[in-house]
């Protein structure tokens, strides 16, 4: 895996709505942004990022951090410095690692702020009136 390590160094979270105010149709937008790519050597680059979970009108969670990318770091750094872009395959790996780490952290922070989790929770629908079969019940 090209992502060697990931560390968070800044977390900022705010709830704008007061406790007890009704929350209707809460929309949560996620965004991960690479802010800087620093070449360490030909095969290693430090990638700094910012993750935001924006709860429209009721709160926001911002996380900043960095990760170590191992691979063709020289071409990654060159493309980033010239165009502010990364190769699609590399960008996919980097943003997936950022989202996987930051979404998990955001769930804990959202709970502390009494905000809805930044991921959709599954809805269990149990149908009634159907033919019963023997065996275990699975939701």
Note the pLDDT tens digit of each residue in 72-91. 888 889 999 999 899 888 99
What is the structure's pLDDT at 97?
A: 93
Residue of 92, 98, 51 whose CA lies nearest to 71 = 92
What is the Cα–Cα distance from 113 to 11, expressed in whole angstroms? 13
Instruction: Decide: 44 and 70 in contact? Cβ < 8 Å.
Output: yes
What is the Cα–Cα distance from 33 to 54, expressed in whole angstroms? 14
Residue of 37, 36, 61, 65 whose CA lies nearest to 112 = 61
Q: What is the mean pLDDT of residues 41-68?
A: 94
Instruction: Give the confidence band of 132 by pLDDT, cuts at 50, 70, 90.
Output: low
What is the structure's pLDDT at 138?
A: 60
pTM over 0.85: no
Reported as type and span, the H/E element at residue 68 is: strand 59-70
pLDDT at 32 over 90: yes
Domains (range + CATH), the chain: 3-112 (3.10.420)
What is the structure's pLDDT at 127?
A: 74
pLDDT at 130 over 70: no
Q: What is the mean pLDDT of the chain?
A: 87
């Amino acid at each position: 895996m090209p992502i060697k390590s990931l560390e968070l160094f800044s977390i900022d979270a705010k709830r704008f709505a007061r406790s007890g105010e009704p929350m209707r149709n809460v929309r949560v937008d996620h965004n991960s942004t690479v802010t800087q790519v620093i070449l360490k050597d030909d095969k290693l680059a430090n990638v700094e990022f910012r993750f935001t979970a924006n709860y429209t009108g009721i709160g926001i969670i911002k996380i900043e951090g960095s990760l170590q990318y191992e691979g063709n770091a020289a071409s990654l750094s060159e493309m980033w410095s010239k165009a502010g872009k990364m190769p699609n395959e590399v960008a996919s790996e980097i943003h997936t690692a950022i989202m996987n780490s930051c979404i998990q952290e955001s769930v804990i922070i959202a709970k502390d702020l009494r905000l809805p989790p930044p991921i959709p929770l599954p809805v269990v629908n149990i149908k009634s009136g159907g033919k019963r079969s023997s065996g275990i019940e699975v939701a």
